[in-house]
Structure 1
């Protein structure tokens, strides 16, 4: 399974562009509700060797304040080259679409969020020609949504909350509330529930909360059918087969070295484990279990 917080931080806006409006309002920025949205090509490359690509790009139309282009960038660390790239994105988008562009930068850690939120003056100090003002969403300004009722009212915003608060004490409560809400959503909209389950797994990456999320998804695997649940099922099957191989060898009195035990226990290839189990029934030594592999 691909595990990428970077992907989840901007893909949530593809799943529900309105999450941007709701998150921005929490910052006191009054964007109007979208009445329609449409994805735009993310490739901002010119006809020369330099490639420029924004993470997510959407056109958002509203009923009372017109349309704008929303560029979403997921930023995992400070990058001194980014302000220049972001300024280019905004200028290019304004020239291409003739619509006001908005740059949203999503950051999982507070230090990166504080860095990205700076207003960057572009031009000589006595007369800056441009001012770069990203709208930054991070753990300090996206609300903690940690009760099932709150999550049920806005699951996409709760997913963003879980990703951005992954290392905060409230992170576990957010994930538990999401598990409850997604189980209810699954009964109404299986596809959306699966997407949110995977976005959370991607967004957590290798954070401590990732193990909790996998545990929550493993509690009722008969209900969840997402790729994450399938992966957990396979892990369970592999663990069971590995245990069976070792039990057979132990019961038959065959010595198994610590190295071979680790090789069996760490294998996640179900076909190979099946072959090893078949050989363990008749093998006279541990080496015969692996002879053809």
Structure 2
């Protein structure tokens, strides 16, 4: 089931397709062919059979007029055997479509899920697909400010993966440096995600860095994020408060419908639903809940 963190992690690749190559060559030590540009490609991976598959994102690395590598990107938040059965189909269909090498990059929020995703998928004798999984252990600790400016999304991933360390200040300083070179909308999106995911103590540390002007480091983005003016701040706070209130109402309606239909809701999925603030996504789930028989019926039917 898509969630807030799922969509934002995908948005990183939509906003910066070259991130796929940077993660493969950096943390995952995969040799990538030389290329001129990285571009986002359609995620529909439908073959001639009736089944339709849709990857979270597809990035192609192009050199002149040819694709030298195609990267299927999946964000996997939990163990789901169905996904491992569909991933080889993603790669085979893309390989047939583009006639180029392909690789599967799976981004995971926890190390156990990353280890599960990274296990080779054996389809038969001599037919093995090995996903490249990026979990917290594979994400480097980014504290170098120049590195944060070069690959700002990696600094965001570093804060998500390592922000709960005993002294996260250098990590957060790199994060704030990275946010300064990202466009304002994405910087806001990533900041909200980091503040949502971090435990309370780490969140307090980051907010102190962003709001204490006497601190030796404060980014331009941090000043904009918190200090755009008292009036605009109040308006933003009221808008966020109204949005949160509306989302809570939609969550309650969704859970009520599912309960009324006798749909069993696992604790983790119930927690994901409760935390969701995306009104569009909640609306989709509510419409599907009206005819749902199982919790899987809330999934997008276009997703493999």
Structure-to-structure mapping, 1:74-223, within 5 angstroms: 74-123=75-124, 128-169=125-166, 173-183=170-180, 185=181, 192-202=183-193, 205-208=196-199, 209=202, 223=223
SS in 2 for 1:224: helix
Would you say the 8 A contact 1:162–1:200 is kept in 2?
A: no
Secondary structure (helix, strand or coil) at the match of 1:131 reads strand
Residues 206-285 of structure 1 aligned to structure 2 (within 5 Å) = 206-208=197-199, 209=202, 223-224=223-224, 233-234=233-234, 238=238, 268-269=241-242
Q: Which residue of 2 aligns with 1:286?
A: none
1:18 alignment partner in structure 2:
18
Structure 1's unaligned 5+ residue stretches are 186-190, 240-266, 271-293
CA pair 111-99 structure 1, distance change in 2 beyond 3 A: same
209-218 vs 11-20, which deviates more? Answer: 209-218
- Measured after TM superposition, the shift of residue 21 of structure 1 is 2.6
Q: Which residue of 1 aligns with 2:42?
A: 41
Displacement of 1:89: 0.4
User: Do the aligned partners of residues 34 and 138 (structure 1) sit closer, same or farther apart at CA in structure 2, a change above 3 Å counting?
Assistant: farther
Aligned length: 229
In the TM superposition, what whole-angstrom CA distance separates every residue of 1:213-243 from its partner, at most 9, and x where no partner exists?
Answer: 56655567894269x999x92477549xxxx
Deviation sequence 1:18-70 (CA, Å, 0-9, x none):
3333322333322245311222111224577644211111111147x961211
Q: Structure 1-normalised TM-score?
A: 0.64
Q: Structure 1 residues 7 and 115, CA, compared in 2 at 3 Å: closer, same or farther?
A: same
SS at match of 2:116: helix
Asked whether the 8 Å contact 2:107–2:134 carries over to 1, the reply is yes
RMSD: 3.8
C-alpha spacing 1:83/1:269, structure 2 compared with 1 (3 Å): closer
